[in-house]
Structure 1
């Protein structure tokens, strides 16, 4: 499929406009020398609507749009549990985690670990997160983005990846988090409108022009197994989504780690004007997450009928863009690229933040703020170059990149969640217990994967979490190392009526969804 001249013009206008807006935002409120707070935390000035939009733009990228649509093609609606359960997780993060983090006035998650434990825990986790963001997250976004551009335009995947990297650098490297967060509003509008339009056209095509309701009815009639939210043990995809575990098992651990302690996600909330603004932004993001399966999963299911013989599941979403009429095709392509580059910008900004504030600054202290901002820009650019070099060798052989990402990160998420939860809510937790949890998570995950291969990875995550929690409690209790008070003490966790009402409504929607598609 090739884009027409009008589509290319629309897409080019989007690229130029986004770079121009980001440049304007970067300069508008700039007075005096740059500071790390300005570059890495947008001078703590983000309003709730920018936080909510930026959370979703950072999250919804190639691995969601391309990867989750591919999983929808293979697995069906059950993969939407990642999105819908994330909505509840976001509300828990807003109520119980953000008050702690904002009170401590931190830049990064490793900085919190330094305050709560010691420099060893901070350094180990800082190095770990930088490595994961470069070798897993950035590579996945670039690779799937290059694949999408190749499918839509015919441009080879390497050129597509280079374009995405350069585009990301052009609008985010100078302005930092402020440029990323405010342009994310444009990105999310494009993503939602373009995604809903493609879902509409896909369902209409499934019904041969008889409308979306008829198209949806045909999908449910011809592909009933694709609408099982809770998979049975006989389902060939049970290993990826093991039945009731998506509601009560390891998926909670993965979501809490991702939405609560993941730097490139939580950094938006850390940059809020105040706690109330951060919580309102979190609530907005939760409702947008409820909408995401309509945008990213449903088209993947429709592609089973429209394109039943795809060579790779991850080509499902790009192949559907051909349904768009000339002109709108350029818009939906812009929406797809918007999602990709916004995540690239968010990840590189967080990599630069952690590298600068948690790895470089402790070694080279007493430097100027301008120096640290410069180092951050170099770190961001270097991370993109490295990710470009290793993306294809790492991910080129995988059919469902989204599932690869989940399983790989599942090796470490149990330990991460143990470290933070015990640190926040148990006063006796100490650095030795935290390091035991971190090391135990990786070792236990690898051992269980080798010795118990029939155990679904989501169940493995839950089991490893329980073992690491017990190990952390045991080591902390036996250790003579002095522990600090848990930083959750003396914190007011009460929330506004509007936040409570939003949370109640979100729960009602989820109960209705799972009751319908159980």
Structure 2
């Protein structure tokens, strides 16, 4: 069955509402100042910002990728959310109290304040902008192909509709339009994912049967406690993946920290992070569950095998076309969820990119001196519009040069570790100055690119067993049906644009990070390094950044307390810093070692009674009991020998 009237109506309504939110806030805020346009004049309450924070990183390919991951590799990736929650706590407790009081628009203003380097600030901003523009094409193009199979619209038409809609409401309405549209889209996404879970559960006879089938076919695994770094997933590996993913995405990325800056206090900003963590766990959990539900429905007739689909995420589309179209409206809700995921991610990107372009590169230029706040607000709207157009063009480029796009996005994605390392050093290591930070950033970036490119060239991981025993026999006539069209229209998608896991900037997917086959995992040297789980990539590059920064600081010297503003670092780190540096300057590194108090001898002249023959009582007290006893025995024995003599 194909789309019906109800599906089309629901789909169109979702687009109209998203665009209408932008039009409303455009009219309402036609004379908005830059602060109102970029931050909503810091007047948001935590809940809508938390919803925007959540859906801003749940792209269409996250929905497809996580479901496909559980379908082909099991539920171990679900435990990644433990690391996600831990990372959000770190961001809320340690990063927000430092960043928020600075009243910044661009997160990278902190980099300049902390390291006193506008060059480092602009370098991080440029890197973020390049990745964000490429990411726009990555967000728009692959879902457009998926939606082509569902809606019948051409790829270009889907890209144009998605790009134009989100650019329009982001440009005209500013951050208020983006945030409130995200709230609506979060509801649509939630309903769309629930359609898969509820309908699929009903078709297999209940949720108990879903889990039972998963257990029987080895899809359910949560506590793989293996410490082997060459396994693709274990409990520890996915927790590490989730932790560093969260630090990068929510702690050191402009698009998400801008949400935290839009509240009225530090406490409210922290609530945004905590509420956002809950939203992420819920939506990611339902997405993972949808993968298990889809597997239960296809347990005896796997479409990846029977239709020769090459990427796990495409199993979701096969499920939608085969199962959801049974009930009018369900397919429309799911496609609306895909559109909502794209709109929320793209609008978040173009809004944050505008903030970076204005704050880090244009603000303060002589040509803008004397401009009124309203005039600056109009300029920012133009920047958003231009960014949206560039995003649509990048989608077209992704269609023509998808293999190149995959390589470029893979290389850019590995900068997640260095960015996390930069901010961890800035917050927790006040000793480190611009020299240590620069050397650390360059070293970690080179390492990350090297490992990222090497892993990208590896062999994709093998799927868990899939069955086609229950599939009907192939047709004997040349009949055109809806389902076989999946092969021709969707195999192209992730075959040509398999970029879902290569970006840790604002999204993460779990379907494509490749590792080498198990039979080659015993190779030594650099091959062994390449074959480690992709979950460790960000951690390695972060540790390299920190290590190099510390070594350079020790060799060339670092900051003194008078060189640094106390507000720019963690309070505990500052106390340690102020206590340690003066002692180092006065006494050197020995001052940091534990010192033993000098002892005073109580020996009487000539070694009279009550002495130990020159062995001080205080010294004996510092010895362990056995050593002291042996020494006393030795002294007494010497006395006896002398008396006998």
TM-score range normalised by the length of the shorter chain: 0.7 to 0.9
> Alignment RMSD, CA only?
3.1
Q: Distance in 2 between matches of 1:171 and 1:66?
A: 26
Name the structure 2 match of 1:470.
Answer: 547
Q: How much has 1:396 moved relative to structure 2?
A: 8.2
**Structure 1, residues 388-446: CA drift from partner, whole Å, max 9, x if none?**
334465588989x9x99996555212211121112122222222222222211221123
Distance verdict in 2 for CA 1:140–1:253, change over 3 Å: same
Match of 1:339 among 338, 341, 354: 341
Q: Which has the larger radius of gyration?
A: 2
Name the structure 2 match of 1:505.
Answer: none
Q: How much has 1:220 moved relative to structure 2?
A: 2.5
Q: Distance in 1 between matches of 2:544 and 2:319?
A: 44
Q: How much has 1:174 moved relative to structure 2?
A: 0.8
Q: 1 or 2 for the larger relative contact order (CA 8 Å, sep ≥6)? A: 1
Match of 1:246 among 238, 247, 259: 238
Q: Distance in 2 between matches of 1:141 and 1:244?
A: 30
**Structure 1, residues 186-236: CA drift from partner, whole Å, max 9, x if none?**
11122223312321212322x1xx2232233223322x145355486999x
Q: Distance in 2 between matches of 1:465 and 1:192?
A: 34
Name the structure 1 match of 2:352.
Answer: 350
Q: Distance in 1 between matches of 2:536 and 2:63?
A: 25
Tell me if 1:458 matches 2:530: no
Q: How much has 1:294 moved relative to structure 2?
A: 3.4
Tell me if 1:377 matches 2:375: no
Q: Distance in 1 between matches of 2:75 and 2:136?
A: 26
Of residues 456-465 and 174-183 in structure 1, the stretch that sits farther from structure 2 once superposed is 456-465
Q: Distance in 2 between matches of 1:182 and 1:370?
A: 22
Name the structure 2 match of 1:271.
Answer: 262
Name the structure 1 match of 2:448.
Answer: 445
- Tell me the number of residue pairs that the alignment of Structure 1 and Structure 2 aligns: 481
- 1:80-479 matched pairs, under 5 angstroms: 80-117=78-115, 118-135=117-134, 137-205=135-203, 207=204, 210-222=205-217, 224-225=218-219, 227-228=221-222, 230=224, 238-239=231-232, 241=233, 244-247=236-239, 249=240, 251-304=242-295, 305-306=297-298, 308-310=302-304, 311=309, 312-322=311-321, 323-324=323-324, 325-364=327-366, 365-366=368-369, 368=371, 369-391=373-395, 394=398, 408=411, 411-449=414-452, 450=454, 451=526, 452-479=529-556
Q: How much has 1:316 moved relative to structure 2?
A: 2.4
Q: Under a length normalisation based on structure 2, what TM-score does the superposition of the two structures give?
A: 0.68
Distance verdict in 2 for CA 1:47–1:331, change over 3 Å: same
Name the structure 2 match of 1:75.
Answer: 73
Q: Would you say the 8 A contact 1:75–1:226 is kept in 2?
A: no
**Structure 1, residues 23-80: CA drift from partner, whole Å, max 9, x if none?**
223444x38x432111111111110111111111211111311222232333232233
Distance verdict in 2 for CA 1:491–1:470, change over 3 Å: closer
Name the structure 1 match of 2:62.
Answer: 64
Q: Distance in 2 between matches of 1:484 and 1:464?
A: 26
Q: How much has 1:360 moved relative to structure 2?
A: 2.2
Q: Would you say the 8 A contact 1:419–1:434 is kept in 2?
A: yes
Q: Distance in 1 between matches of 2:54 and 2:451?
A: 33
Distance verdict in 2 for CA 1:299–1:181, change over 3 Å: same
Distance verdict in 2 for CA 1:373–1:475, change over 3 Å: farther
Name the structure 1 match of 2:464.
Answer: none
Distance verdict in 2 for CA 1:139–1:82, change over 3 Å: farther
Q: Would you say the 8 A contact 2:131–2:409 is kept in 1?
A: no
Q: How much has 1:346 moved relative to structure 2?
A: 0.4
Name the structure 2 match of 1:510.
Answer: none
Q: Would you say the 8 A contact 1:172–1:180 is kept in 2?
A: yes
Q: Under a length normalisation based on structure 1, what TM-score does the superposition of the two structures give?
A: 0.84
Q: How much has 1:363 moved relative to structure 2?
A: 4.0
Distance verdict in 2 for CA 1:363–1:152, change over 3 Å: same
Unaligned 5+ residue runs, structure 1?
494-518
**Structure 1, residues 219-269: CA drift from partner, whole Å, max 9, x if none?**
3322x145355486999x944x3662223x454223211111111111111
Q: Distance in 2 between matches of 1:492 and 1:47?
A: 30
Q: Distance in 2 between matches of 1:14 and 1:180?
A: 15
Q: Would you say the 8 A contact 1:7–1:330 is kept in 2?
A: yes
Secondary structure at the counterpart of residue 177 of structure 1: helix
